[in-house]
Structure 1
Amino acid sequence: MLARVILDFGSARMRATTVAIDDPGPLEAFLPESGPCTAFIRRGEGFVGLGEAARFETDRLEAADVWWDEISNQIDHDSEMPGEFGTGPIAVGSFTFDPDRSEDRSVLVIPRIIIGRRGGVFWMTKLGAARGDMALPARRERVASPVNPTAVGGAMGEDIWTRIVGEVVDLIRNDEVHKVVLARDLIVRADEPLDLRYLLDRLIENYPMTWAYLVDGMIGATPELLLRRQGGLVTSRVLAGTVWREGDTVDPLQLAAELARSQKDISEHEFAVASVAEALAPYCQAMNVPEAPSVLKLPNVMHLATDITGSVGPDTGALALAAALHPSAAVCGTPTHLALDIISELESLDRGRYAGPVGWTDMYGDGEWAIALRGGQVRPETPQEIQLFAGAGIVADSDPSVELAETGAKLVPMLQALGLDS
């Protein structure tokens, strides 16, 4: 197991102070021009994190859970708003899709400053600060748009990818596996380093109903919440089954009706729901799984969606639940071990932290973990370049050309943010 810890505590214990603040305005406006920062925002609510008090690099969610438990027990928290969901010191993370087959590393960081908003409550938390040192950081003045962004291809061409989809369909029809989620990538390169704050602004503006995330070079706007744990309640939103608009003349109600009747999409969705329900069951005293999905409408696509809820005990935290749920059939396939083997053999792509858990947890085990979809990754060695990802669930009735078009639709949010949507 890879593990690297960077601490900036300065003593065996650390003080953290949380105070109520006036409405700070758009949270993303506090992200600095340089230095580490994080964000997790939906409909204007969530948080931004500035700086790092501690950092843990690993290849296992379980190891990160143990580390955070140890570290959080060293923090003395003085709060004006105890019990408010999401306030106080938090750990923010982004984890690899398949740690056994990736050269990337998972990361969990503790921001030094957190500015948040939720349900009409506004707060700031600072680590290493007392109440007399709680001034808000300065807001930024401007962010730079990408300079001459150009798509330069990915790990494989579209023709090769569709051929691989056909191979997987044959495996499924021969009963060797039930479902496999295949991804492809697209590299976009600019003339100057990309300002991820600009991309985040565009994602928040264009896709407010999604969870916009920024963690250690991973950025995107995902519609899929792996889980939220708040007190004894856990919620998981399962998305699988997709339709998209091609042109402004298409009636969205007609598209939604077609999606709700599509046996191919219903079958794909049922696999994903079953995998999440089975993974949650050992941790829940009671659980509710709706009999039929709803249709989630986003600006460019629609998904079949099911919200699963359950009650969990105090000893099962959000990170432990994320470890139990990942990877679900929505991003991997089923049976899981067979789908992972097929992805590794045929996809020709290191997904890194794409389709892995991304989110946060607090000192009490509450938190939110989404799936890192509709996004991309910028690496320190190539700051002018971003690797975008998109995937599609392959089942027996899949048409390779349709699945390719679906991945194209899922690339749209990031291409729009980069100015390449035309």
Structure 2
Amino acid sequence: MGYKMTEIREMRNVMISPSTRFFTETVEVGRISPLSFFEAGASQYDDKRFYWQNADKTLTLVGIGHAYTLTTDKTEGRFQDISMKWKQLCSTLIKEEKDIDPVLFGGFSFDENSRKESEWDEFPSGYFFVPSFQLKIEEGKTMVSINMITDQTEAALDFDRLREERDKLIHNAQVEEFDFTNHNKITATTERGKEQYLHAVKNATESIQKGKADKVVIARALELHFEHTVNSVKALHAITNEQQESYHFGLQIGTSHFFGATPERLIEIKNGKAYSACVAGSIRRGKSAQEDRVLGEELLGDRKNREEHQYVVSMISDVFNKYCSEVLIPKTPKLMKIRDIQHLYTAVEGTLGQEIDIFSFVEALHPTPALGGVPTNVALDIIRQEEEMDRGYYAAPIGWTDAAGNGEFAVAIRSALLDGNRAYLYAGGGIVADSVPDSEYDETWVKFRPVLRALGGKLNG
């Protein structure tokens, strides 16, 4: 039987004492399926796991167990609160050159000022953790690390226990045959607040026509009921197979599992460079290559979508010009084609300034006009007034950073929250002066499709 980290003094949001030490140890192992490693931790750490794979599949991370958790309930200063705590923790790190950098993984809520009693009650304003066991697959290498943070003077026995547990996890992931097929059956589908959504789109459009805002993103939710509890790893397996071009993520908090496949990177920092992506403006995929090409050309030439896209480009450009040098931004967008939808896409790159960490970018970039609106504060006020929904971590930053300052955050769209035998799906769209409620409603169904399909449902809207 394995040891839970609660038996080895899981540490949570305490002040870093002079005696605190952050130990890490890395071993290189043979090939392991990351989802098998994720599932191998289910029996002992079902509520303490994360999964991450970047869009080009050059990096996969899995975390099991909690060596340390960082949370915040602040509405103001929450990004810097997590940043400060992480820097304090990293100052106690003890590692050898062969050991890879420990990772901190988690996310923030979309808007702490619009919290309501909802399915998101277990999710604080910001929630991050250092995993006890960390799998990293990069550049053809598979590495597993142990992370232990302790203020105990005698920690050798605890670390040996973790080594035993690590070896069991690796063995189980390599030799056990896990069935990732989803056989669960949807018993009911509920559109939550459909009429409220249509009313909100209408009101937001009128506000824009009156000059109060240029763009407002309005979202809605879909609730699914299943015969049995939804297995989180089966949902991850389905969506990673179906949405190959996206970022894949899963974050377990308590009984809830937030997962998705998002096309939208918020910020990446790697070796002193910062990267972001402007993704806004969309149209469906064609049923043939010719129709697909025609639809893509229509999107590239559509005034409404180009205007919506430019709002995002302008905002992200302003942030990069503030925090970076040598900023590179193409003058015209390209098409990003994923399975169910085409987007306008513009890449942004810059050289990182000193004393700027990834949380500074997350704070400055969230929410982008693609998920909030323009101007940001006015759009958020309209969202709070009209949506009447707690977005939770939907459309919010989710991702990781490491002890060296590298990291990546994505925008958590094309996502769902699993809780027992229920799933809550979220989708929205940018509302501008000539938006039509019924058309916006139809677009949300296209955006529901990836997660709905991953959970065994069919598009019926």
Task: State if a TM-score over 0.5 links the two structures.
Answer: yes
| Correspondence for 2:415 among 375, 398, 407 | 375
Contact persistence 1:93–1:360 (CA under 8 A):
yes
Report the alpha carbon displacement of residue 421 of structure 1 after superposing the two structures with TM.
2.2
| Correspondence for 1:33 among 25, 37, 42 | 42
Q: Distance in 2 between matches of 1:246 and 1:169?
A: 28
Give the aligned partner of residue 88 of structure 2. 70
Report the alpha carbon displacement of residue 160 of structure 1 after superposing the two structures with TM.
3.5
Give the aligned partner of residue 96 of structure 1. 109
Q: Distance in 2 between matches of 1:181 and 1:119?
A: 38
Contact persistence 1:318–1:365 (CA under 8 A):
yes
Contact persistence 2:51–2:63 (CA under 8 A):
yes
DSSP 3-state at the match of 1:327:
coil
Report the alpha carbon displacement of residue 250 of structure 1 after superposing the two structures with TM.
6.8
Give the aligned partner of residue 411 of structure 1. 448
Q: Distance in 2 between matches of 1:54 and 1:227?
A: 24
Report the alpha carbon displacement of residue 297 of structure 1 after superposing the two structures with TM.
0.3
Contact persistence 1:301–1:409 (CA under 8 A):
yes
> Relative to total residues, which structure has the larger helix share, 1 or 2?
2
Residues 216-365 of structure 1 mapped to structure 2, 5 A cutoff: 216=252, 217-245=257-285, 247=287, 251-365=291-405
Residues 131-280 of structure 1 mapped to structure 2, 5 A cutoff: 135=167, 136-139=170-173, 141-143=178-180, 145=182, 147-157=184-194, 159-216=195-252, 217-245=257-285, 247=287, 251-280=291-320
- 1:112 aligned onto 2:132: yes
Q: Distance in 2 between matches of 1:150 and 1:78?
A: 53
Structure 2: 5+ residue runs without aligned partners?
A: 1-10, 117-122, 149-158
Structure 1: 5+ residue runs without aligned partners?
A: 82-86
Contact persistence 1:15–1:78 (CA under 8 A):
no
Residues 11-22 of structure 1 mapped to structure 2, 5 A cutoff: 12-22=20-30
DSSP 3-state at the match of 2:143:
strand
- 1:5 aligned onto 2:1: no
User: Which amino acid in 1 is paired with 2:86?
Assistant: W
Q: Distance in 2 between matches of 1:132 and 1:345?
A: 52
Deviations 1:99-128 (A, max 9, x none): 122254121111111111123233221113
Contact persistence 2:261–2:413 (CA under 8 A):
yes
Q: Distance in 2 between matches of 1:250 and 1:399?
A: 27
Report the alpha carbon displacement of residue 318 of structure 1 after superposing the two structures with TM.
1.4
Report the alpha carbon displacement of residue 248 of structure 1 after superposing the two structures with TM.
5.6
Report the alpha carbon displacement of residue 58 of structure 1 after superposing the two structures with TM.
1.2
Contact persistence 1:18–1:125 (CA under 8 A):
yes
Q: In angstroms, what is the RMSD of aligned CA positions?
A: 2.4
Contact persistence 1:30–1:137 (CA under 8 A):
no
User: Which amino acid in 2 is paired with 1:122?
Assistant: T
Contact persistence 2:180–2:237 (CA under 8 A):
no
User: Residues 151 and 287 of structure 1: is their aligned pair in 2 closer, same or farther, counting only changes over 3 Å?
Assistant: farther
DSSP 3-state at the match of 1:291:
coil
DSSP 3-state at the match of 1:342:
helix
User: Which amino acid in 1 is paired with 2:401?
Assistant: T
Q: Distance in 2 between matches of 1:18 and 1:273?
A: 40
Contact persistence 1:19–1:79 (CA under 8 A):
no
Contact persistence 1:146–1:192 (CA under 8 A):
no
Report the alpha carbon displacement of residue 152 of structure 1 after superposing the two structures with TM.
3.2
Contact persistence 2:269–2:358 (CA under 8 A):
yes
TM normalised by structure 1 equals 0.91
DSSP 3-state at the match of 2:95:
strand
DSSP 3-state at the match of 1:117:
strand
Contact persistence 1:151–1:188 (CA under 8 A):
yes
Count of residues in correspondence between the two structures: 409
Report the alpha carbon displacement of residue 161 of structure 1 after superposing the two structures with TM.
1.7
- 1:23 aligned onto 2:31: yes
Contact persistence 2:146–2:163 (CA under 8 A):
no
TM normalised by structure 2 equals 0.83
